Structure 1
Amino acid sequence: MNGSKAWISGCIGQRLNADERAFFADERPWGFILFGRNIGEPQQVRDLVAELKDVRGGDDVPILIDQEGGRVQRLRPPFAPRFPPAAEIGRVFATDEGAGRRAAWLQGRLLADDLLSGYGINVNCLPCLDLPAPGSHSVIGDRAYADSPDVVATLGRAAASGLAAGGVLPVMKHIPGHGRTEVDSHLELPYVRASRAELESHDFLPFAELADLPAGMTAHIRYETLDPDRPATISPIVISQIIRGALRFDGLLMSDDMSMKALQGDMDMLARAAIDAGCDLALHCNGDMTEMRAIASGVPELKGESLRRAERAHAVIRDGAREPAGEGMREEFASLLALTA
């Protein structure tokens, strides 16, 4: 894969058009992300993934997707089996801790099998380590394993290990914590007013416990006691003092989607602000060519510490298992879920 620029891109449809092919070849995103609009039928998805990899020149080009289970599952039957939301794994853990850890690992491993063996998709934006709070918006809801930091960290690590064992790079989200928000960041900018002490004793803990993971995604949230002027994605204070400092995360840090309504402003300025704040990669998902051109113009070449982190994350894709998981694992997973039936 030729040298990359510091961004990840979506595409508009189910095949690349000529303009996208030329643009991606010139602007060299580190990877690509797929959404529902890109999914028509199984062979088409495989062909699109192959096109995206071809335009960047390598079979190990990162191809991202949000395949959590529950509400957030881009590939659904008949493309891939339906998986439960994280909260259901949490209920298994509450019944039997060993069974819950195994269920979380198996879900990660089986998701990896569906994505990589089925379609060549090699990055999954999982685990979700956010902790829901009373009165918070349902955007997280049952995407959270539990409301206990220790449980979320335990099950999040198991899921991430399962993904990595299957050759799929896990991306933990949304650093440093999305669970307290009262609005959906897809639609507007959320504010969190909790004190730093409250955040450090609760919301931040799962991310601190999993700070050794190779990749993570920011939250488009303004933490008023940390930086009253800027959301975390474009806040040097939050990224340097909290994410890189207090949480000690030294993995590849990508923004959440720059096209979400939580961020306002010109895309080139937003992309530049995210990189200047300390993000390694700017993520842009909606496939709008005008916006993509602006994002690409606002990001630099991937180099220095960001390149080192990207190479470490990329090693999970290169070095992971390629053998199918097998039906025995699926049967075991179903039996563990039955514990809460």
Structure 2
Amino acid sequence: MTSSSRAMILGCGGPRLSVEEKQFFRAVQPWGFILFGRNIESLEQVKMLTGEMREAVGWQAPVLVDQEGGTVRRLRPPLVRDYPPAARIAALYAASPEAAREAAWISGRLMAGDLLPLGINVDCAPVLDIPPAPGAGFLADRTFGCDPDQVIAMAQAQADGLKAGGVLPVVKHMPGHGRGLLDSHKRLPVVDAPLALLRDRDFRPFREVTGIAMAMTCHVLFEAVDPDNPASASKKLVEEVMRGEIGFDGLIISDDISMNALSGDIATRARAVADAGLDIILHCNGDMPEMRAVAGQAPQLAGDALTRATTALASAPEADDSDLKALSRRFDALMDEKG
């Protein structure tokens, strides 16, 4: 990365960078970029776009995407094969934990095989959140179940599959969005569970899934820890829970600050995230005035945050030589066995 990289990840408006976007990115030097459906038309176009992004900042900056499967897939058929949501893969676990873990690993490996050739080297997955009951909350089908041991096993397998394909996983949504039943894109979820319960269930996957260099926060208020600020804007949550109890020493990225769970204008939100001690501010919608406001608040990457960012990128392995066609057939067979 360059010595002037700022602590932010930004989106862009369309399938190619505009002249204004190129000039802006060159000037403000975001640490990374993130793609959404509006940025995706064809495989060749995506590859050109990721190349333009890196050319604008002058180095091989990380390019992220949310590619979980199910409803959260920025690349979809016919560009890539279909992927089921985490909950459907997790349904295999009751009959055969081994088959479920294999399916989760294959899903990660196949998604990495789709992403890396396009220049996308970071996937915002797997989801480690644990809903309080099956089907509860807006995240329900995006999760690997309600049992912490099952979630840990499945998320570990999917993360390992992504890494086997040379793509870095970003676990989400630390320290756990599962009890935050409201859609944080629209409103602020509030969790009133006692801290002991959160430690025993919600925080466990983030503590026990290993080999993870990056995590994304949640815009959820945990009354037992900080009754005034959502996790993404809470210095107490970051220091005492994410760094402390969970013990996560990797790069912590905010969830998208344009989500309406956060209050104030975009500059206020960006400043709150930075002041809370998160390493990277994430802003996704590609709106230029908002991105300029974020750039006005994002600090230059330095100190521990710079070390964590450097370490995260350096941890990316080379893709293995898996036979992706054979893995795709095996994945279909595993899912068909469930019926």
Deviations 1:298-317 (A, max 9, x none): 11111111111111210234
- Deviation at 1:272? 2.1
> How many angstroms apart in 1 are the aligned matches of 2:281 and 2:123?
17
> How many angstroms apart in 1 are the aligned matches of 2:54 and 2:249?
27
Contact conserved, 1:108 with 1:159, CA < 8 A, in 2? yes
Deviations 1:75-133 (A, max 9, x none): 0011111101111111122211111111111110110001112x111110001001112
Q: 2:295 matched to which residue of 1?
A: 296
Equivalent residue runs for 1:159-308 within 5 Å: 159-210=158-209, 212-308=211-307
1:329 and 1:135, CA in 2 relative to 1: closer, same or farther beyond 3 A?
closer
Q: 1:333 matched to which residue of 2?
A: 331
Equivalent residue runs for 1:310-329 within 5 Å: 310-317=309-316, 319-321=317-319, 323=321, 325-329=323-327
Contact conserved, 2:134 with 2:140, CA < 8 A, in 1? no
Moved more, 211-220 or 255-264: 211-220
Q: 2:38 matched to which residue of 1?
A: 37
Q: 1:95 matched to which residue of 2?
A: 95
- Deviation at 1:325? 4.2
| TM-score normalised by the chain length of structure 2 | 0.96
Deviations 1:307-339 (A, max 9, x none): 11111210234x321656431111111121122
Moved more, 158-167 or 87-96: 87-96
> How many angstroms apart in 2 are the aligned matches of 1:135 and 1:156?
17
1:222 and 1:302, CA in 2 relative to 1: closer, same or farther beyond 3 A?
same
Q: 1:26 matched to which residue of 2?
A: 27
Matched, 1:55 2:77: no
- Deviation at 1:41? 2.4
Matched, 1:109 2:126: no
> How many angstroms apart in 2 are the aligned matches of 1:97 and 1:339?
13
**Which consecutive unaligned segments of at least 5 residues does structure 1 have?**
none
1:322 and 1:25, CA in 2 relative to 1: closer, same or farther beyond 3 A?
farther
> How many angstroms apart in 1 are the aligned matches of 2:113 and 2:289?
35
> How many angstroms apart in 1 are the aligned matches of 2:127 and 2:12?
24
Q: 1:68 matched to which residue of 2?
A: 68
> How many angstroms apart in 2 are the aligned matches of 1:79 and 1:227?
43
RMSD: 1.5
| Percent identical | 47
Q: Structure 2: which amino acid aligns with 1:176?
A: P
Contact conserved, 2:106 with 2:161, CA < 8 A, in 1? yes
1:57 and 1:162, CA in 2 relative to 1: closer, same or farther beyond 3 A?
same
Q: 1:131 matched to which residue of 2?
A: 130
Contact conserved, 1:70 with 1:84, CA < 8 A, in 2? yes
Q: Structure 2: which amino acid aligns with 1:330?
A: S
Contact conserved, 1:64 with 1:122, CA < 8 A, in 2? yes
1:162 and 1:212, CA in 2 relative to 1: closer, same or farther beyond 3 A?
closer
> How many angstroms apart in 2 are the aligned matches of 1:209 and 1:12?
37
Count of paired positions: 338
> How many angstroms apart in 2 are the aligned matches of 1:266 and 1:336?
47
> How many angstroms apart in 2 are the aligned matches of 1:73 and 1:263?
24
> How many angstroms apart in 1 are the aligned matches of 2:45 and 2:114?
15
> How many angstroms apart in 2 are the aligned matches of 1:311 and 1:136?
38
Query: Secondary structure at the residue paired with 1:150?
Result: helix
Contact conserved, 2:133 with 2:146, CA < 8 A, in 1? no
| TM-score normalised by the chain length of structure 1 | 0.96
- Deviation at 1:211? 5.7
1:137 and 1:96, CA in 2 relative to 1: closer, same or farther beyond 3 A?
closer
> How many angstroms apart in 2 are the aligned matches of 1:105 and 1:313?
21
> How many angstroms apart in 1 are the aligned matches of 2:210 and 2:299?
25
Moved more, 254-263 or 201-210: 201-210
1:311 and 1:216, CA in 2 relative to 1: closer, same or farther beyond 3 A?
same
> How many angstroms apart in 1 are the aligned matches of 2:58 and 2:313?
15
Deviations 1:36-72 (A, max 9, x none): 11112222222111111211223x3211000000111
> How many angstroms apart in 2 are the aligned matches of 1:206 and 1:67?
20
Q: 1:157 matched to which residue of 2?
A: 156
Query: Secondary structure at the residue paired with 1:321?
Result: coil
> How many angstroms apart in 2 are the aligned matches of 1:305 and 1:99?
40
Q: 1:13 matched to which residue of 2?
A: 14
> How many angstroms apart in 2 are the aligned matches of 1:259 and 1:107?
29
**Which consecutive unaligned segments of at least 5 residues does structure 2 have?**
none
Moved more, 322-331 or 269-278: 322-331
Contact conserved, 1:187 with 1:261, CA < 8 A, in 2? yes
